[in-house]
Amino acid sequence: MRQERVRQESFVQHETAIVDGVDISGQWNKMYEPREITGYDLTWMDKLTAIDGAGSMGWCYQCAKCTGACPVDHVGDYGPRKIFRRLQTGGDLFNSPDLWQCTTCMNCLRVCPKQVDLIKIMPAAREVAVLDGYFPAELQEMFQKVAQYGNPMGDSARKRTRWTRGLEEGIEVRILPKDPAPVEVLWFVGDYYGYHGRGRDAARSMARVFNRLGVDFGILGADEKCDGDSQRLAGETGLFTELAEHNIEQLYKYEFERVVVSGPHAYNAIKNEYPKLGGQFETLHYTQFLAQQLDRLQPLLKGSFKKKVTFHDPCYLGRHNGEYDAPRQLIEALPDVEFIELYRCKQQGYCCGGGGGGMWLDGFMADHVEERLSENRVREAIEVGAQVLAVCCPYEVSRFEDAVKSTGNEGKLEVLDIIEMLDTCMT
Ligand code: SF4
Ligand code: SF4
């Protein structure tokens, strides 16, 4: 049925109107009154913006600056502008896949003139959803494993130091609960270095590099638990607090000068989140620690690394914590290396898809994106002509190695942790 167009009859008109000296009396000053053009239910928008930390979602004025910045939108249909629009037209974020696609990469906040802060909005909104029991099954499994075993793999704490078994004679790793004398560096090894096959390769490389450099270091061994950053970003605030309090207690048992971490998420958690719970520690990502020792490290790099290498900036080392130089300094210190930047690098770096709980949401994301973010990144590395994609986040080796296979680039691109590259050149 054809609908009759309804004429807007409600207007204001002044008999006499002089504006800036111009007489616009008569029909010229007719102004239609503000009229309601939508009747959307804003219950969900109001519920979201009332949550502590999520209020800035309501500040969006739809400028679309975030549209080109969001890595998920690049392979799907997403971004703060779209989330706001869906909420503004009556949508419910709490029951929507939109709640789980954000990797908290921070690229939108970097460009948003209204400071719509997804880094605070997402964990706050997800916390409500988690408490209400609405979250993807993949996350539930991960939360349970972390709660029960202290790591997302669901492996026993005893196995946390098993990676040390593959070390050559003379490479020492002091396990502090067994030998608690003061150390200069407490190395927070992390779950992927502790349990994942490729992570363990990197852990052994770190132990070798530390030994050759003469670093006085120790680890927490079986007393270390997951740093909790990803759980916090995925909305499990209670679990994060439990993990953080445990690690803080363990760390305070020993005397050391600084914590050196393997991964950007542990870095973010210990540096920025643990202080809120009473844990104050000088914290360095391993690339920062080693870059500070470059004078001593460089003479030890004797082997050639004659390859074209590119580097993926981890969101939580780069955009979140402002460190772009240290990893590049280490790569460029490799003898004969040819370093090439990715098109999207440093502040504008593309996300691997593993942040904000994304590490455990690949199955869920497959229904919402055309290709994985890690696949998109691998294609970019191939396009710039790299032979090696260098990383310094323990999540990324496995993510990118999978993506190399799924994009059909096996044999064309190697994925290596920077610590493995340094180790290779020291032998
Ligand atoms: S950049 Fe900020 S204000 Fe602009 S559309 Fe995105 S969220 Fe909204
Ligand atoms: S934080 Fe990153 S993934 Fe999340 S909406 Fe912003 S740009 Fe997209």
18 within ligand 1 shell (Cβ under 6 A): no
Q: Which residue, among 69, 134, 38, 132, has the nearest Cα to 319 in the 3D structure? A: 69
- 222, 113: one domain: no
**Which percentage of the chain shows pLDDT scores above 90?**
90
One domain, residues 60 and 91: yes
Residue 363 has pLDDT above 90, yes or no: yes
Range of the domain at 250: 144-291
- Of 291, 326, 358, the one marking the end of a domain is 291
Task: Give CA–CA dist 169/359, Å, rounded.
Answer: 35
pLDDT over 80 (residue 61): yes
**CATH number of the domain to which 355 belongs:** 3.40.50.10700
Minimum CA distance residue for ligand 2 atom 4: 102
- pLDDT tens digits along 115-160: 999 999 999 999 999 999 999 999 999 999 999 999 999 999 999 9
Q: Is residue 27 part of a domain?
A: no
**Does 314 share its domain with 421?**
yes
CA of 78 to the centre of ligand 2 (A): 8
- 117 Cα–ligand 2 center, Å: 9
Q: Is there an atom of ligand 1 within 6 Å of 114 CB? A: yes
Are 212 and 166 in a shared domain?
Answer: yes
Q: Tell me what pLDDT residue 35 has.
A: 66
d(CA 361, CA 363): 5
User: Which ligand has the shortest distance to the CA of 122?
Assistant: 2
- For residues 152 and 279, state if they share a domain: yes
154-190 burial: b if 16+ Cβ within 10 Å, else e: ebeeeebbebbeeeeeeeebebbeeeeeebebbbbbb
Cα(73) to centroid(ligand 2), Å: 8
202 in the same domain as 158: yes
| pLDDT score of 230 more than 70 | yes
Q: What atom of ligand 2 comes closest to residue 118's alpha carbon?
A: 1
Residues 162 and 53 in one domain: no
pLDDT given at position 43 = 95
Contacts of residue 34, Cβ cutoff 8 Å, sequence gap at least 6: none
Locate tokens 């400028």: which residue?
63
- Kindly state whether residues 148 and 194 are assigned to the same domain: yes
CA of 312 to the centre of ligand 1 (A): 26
Q: Is 139 a member of any domain? A: no
Going from the Cα of 347 to the center of ligand 2, the distance in angstroms, rounded, reads 14
Last residue of some domain: 240, 275, 291? 291
Domain annotation covers residue 19: no
Half-sphere exposure of 2 (CA within 13 A, CB side): 2
Q: Return d(Cα 256, Cα 57) in angstroms, integer.
A: 42
Distance 46 CA to ligand 2 centre (A): 21
User: Hey, how many other C-beta atoms are within 10 angstroms of the C-beta on 100?
Assistant: 24
In angstroms and rounded to an integer, the radius of gyration of the C-alpha atoms of the chain is 26
Residues 203, 305 within the same domain: no
**90 CA distance to ligand 2 centroid (A)?**
21
Ligand 1: residue of 61, 70, 98, 118 to mutate (most ligand atoms within 8 A of CB) is 61
Residue 342 lies in a domain: yes
Domain boundary among 132, 152, 180: 132
Find out whether 45 and 58 touch, Cβ atoms under 8 Å: yes
C-alpha atoms less than 13 angstroms from C-alpha of 140 in its C-beta half-sphere: 10
**Count of domains for the chain:** 3
Amino acid, single-letter form, for residue 357: G
pLDDT given for residue 139 in this prediction = 96
Same domain, 221 and 164: yes
Is residue 359 located within the same domain as residue 408? yes
Q: Supply the pTM of this predicted model.
A: 0.91
Which ligand 2 atom is at minimum distance from the Cα of 83? 5
What's the pLDDT tens digit per position in 268-295? 999 999 999 999 999 999 999 999 999 9
For residue 126, the domain's CATH number is 1.10.1060.10
Mean pLDDT estimate for the chain: 95
- Least trusted range by pLDDT, from 39-43, 48-52, 123-127: 39-43
Lining ligand 2 with CB less than 6 A are: 69-72, 79-80, 102-108, 118
Average pLDDT (375-391) is 98
